[in-house]
Amino acid sequence: MNSDTVALLKECDAGCKMGVESMKQVRSYAEDGKLIAVIDKYLERHDDFGDKCHRMLNQVKETTQDPPKMASAFAKISTDMKLMMEKDSHKIAEILIDGCNMGVKSTTENMHKYNKADAGSMNLAKELVEMEQKMSQDLLQFL
């Protein structure tokens, strides 16, 4: 497994972890059963995706990567601030859609940056992009 493959998998794993953290955070504010169901569905999918990354990295004796501490802290604080002012389904969906868009953007950038990654990791990154796009689409009903 070449260095681009490892780097892409680590970035996908870190991004997925950040998404899980955000979904868990906003879920505690959600009151709409339909919104909670959407969040739970994608929490499970993100957990499964993270497990795939972890297995691929373990095969080559590599460790997973956590999201940068400052990015996680900033995301948590800014989300809490937004939800302290307005914690309805619209705001929660808006925050999650913004997160999905960031995930699509950063994963796509990483696919270009680590363009020598193997087909398996590229396909996994594409799967992450598609999952983020689908989640965003599923959340539009709450806007």
Residue type, 110: N
71 pLDDT more than 80: no
Mean pLDDT of the chain: 93
CATH of domain 3-142: 1.20.1260.10
Q: Where are the domains of the chain?
A: 3-142
Place of tokens 């499970």: 44
The yes-or-no verdict on residue 125 having pLDDT over 90 is yes
Q: Cβ(29)–Cβ(92) under 8 Å?
A: yes
Q: What is the pLDDT of residue 25?
A: 94
**In this predicted structure, what is the pLDDT of residue 77?**
86
SS3 call for 142: helix
